[in-house]
Amino acid sequence: MTMKHLISGKVVVLGVCSSISAYKAADICSKLMKLGVEVHVIMTANATKLITPRVFQTLTHNDVTTDLWAVDNWKPEHTALADKADLFVVVPATANFLGQYANGLAPDALSTYALANRAPTVIFPAMNPFMWSNTAVRDNVATIRRRGARVVTPASGIVACGDEGVGKLPGVDAIVETIEAHLSILELAPAPRSRVVVTAGPTEEHIDVVRFLTNRSTGKMGYCLAAAAAALGHEVTLVSGPVDREAPLDVKLVRVSSARDMLLAVQTAVTGADVLIMAAAVADYTYQDTQARKIKKAGDSLTLNLTRTIDILATISASPTRPKLVGGFAAESHDVIEYALGKLERKGLDFIVANDISGSDRGFGSDHNEVAVLARGGNGDVVQTDVSFARKMTVAAHIFDAAIHVSPGVSSSE
C-alpha cells in the first residue's frame, strides 16, 4: 500500500483582523505561496487601516475581500470561497472576532464567511494578555473549540502596548508549520484523542567541557511528527535533543542533551501515554569518563573509552507500563527494510519507520523524506505502508496515520 498526498494546490482562506501583528500575515501568505498553496485573503475593515489589501493581492495573485457589497459578481463571495476552501485560517484573530464567531454574529465579510465555511478551521489569536485571560474571551474560546475548530494558544512575551503575558502571535515559521500540518492531515481518518510522546533530534555525549559526540540529525522529522499529531487533536509531548528549532505550537517541549537525559525524560513523559514514537537519533555510545576541563593536545593520538548507552526504545517497549503503541525509526543506508524488520522484532515494537538515508535529497538535513512504515496488524502480520517522497510534514502525517490505524491498540481500544 502506498500513501501519497501533497499540499501543493490546496486552497487556504486566510482571515486577517485588526491586530498590530497583522503585518505578519503578509509573510505567512508569502511562505504558503512558496509551498504551492492557493491563498485567498479576507480582511476586516479595521485591518485595512494597519496593512493595505494591495499587499495581499500582490502576494497571493488573488483579489482581497474587505466588503461583501464590493463584489461585482452574482454569487456572494462568502459562499463562493467556502465552496473551494480546504482550510480556513484566521491570523491574527482579535477578541472581537472570537466573540462574533462564538456567538454566530456576522456583521462583516470575515465573520459572514466564517459562518458559511465548511472547511477545517485554525485560529491564531493575538491580543493584550489581560484581554486573553478575560473570562468572556476564555468562554468564547472554549465554545469555538467545543464546536471543532482549533484555537492555538498565543505565545507568551511582551506585547505592543508593553504588557507582558500570554497574548502574542507566535512566530511566522511556527504558524506556517501549523498550517502545513493541517493541510497534510486533510485526507486522514480521525482517531480518538490520545496522549502522544515523540522524541527528536540528536544527543550530545560530552568528552570534556568543549567537545562531544553527536550526529547529523536536525530533529525536523520528529518536530513534524509532533506538529502533525497536534493538528490531529492529540495531546503531545516532544522530548528533543539539542536542535535550533521552535517548538511546534500547542506541544509540550522537554529539552535534553545526553542519551541518559533523554531516557529519564521519556520514562517520565510516557507515564499514562498511549503512543511513543522515537524519532530521535540517540547516540549508541557515550564517553566513559567525561573531563571537567578541556583536554589538551598531547601526542599524536587520543584514545577514547566508549561504552554503550541504554537502549531507550527497547527499555520502554519491555516495560509493563509501556504505552499501547511503541515505535521507532530505522535510519539505514542499505538493506533498509531487512534491518527495520529485525529491529521491529528484536525490540518488541508495534511499528517501525524504515528510513533510507543514502540519498542527499532526503533524511538528515533535508526538507523531504520517503519512508516505509512497518506495523503489526491485528493478526500479528506485519503490514508495510509506503509513504512516497514528499515534504517531511506530509510524510510525518502519514507515518502517524499508518501507525495508529494499522496497529491494534489506540484506534481500536476506545
Task: Tell me if 242 sits within 8 A of 204, measured CB to CB.
Answer: yes
Of 17, 29, 161, 224, which is the active-site residue? 161
Phi then psi for residue 210, to 5 deg, are -115, -40
Q: What size, in residues, is the chain?
A: 414
Helix (H, G, I), strand (E, B) or coil at 316: helix
Helix and strand numbers (H, E) in the chain are 14, 20
Nearest to 168 by CA among 152, 157, 178, 176: 157
Q: Which residues contact 23 (CB under 8 A, 6 or more apart)?
A: 50, 51
Phi-psi label, residue 162: left if phi above 0, alpha if psi -120 to 50, beta otherwise: left
Residue 58 grid cell: 500582490
Task: Tell me if 42 sits within 8 A of 65, measured CB to CB.
Answer: yes
Phi then psi for residue 198, to 5 deg, are -125, 140
What whole-number distance in Å separates Cα of residue 355 and Cα of residue 365? 13
Catalytic residue check, 161: yes
**Residue carrying the nine cell digits 490531529:** 232
Helix (H, G, I), strand (E, B) or coil at 138: helix
Task: Tell me if 171 sits within 8 A of 246, measured CB to CB.
Answer: yes
Query: Annotated active-site positions, please?
Result: 161
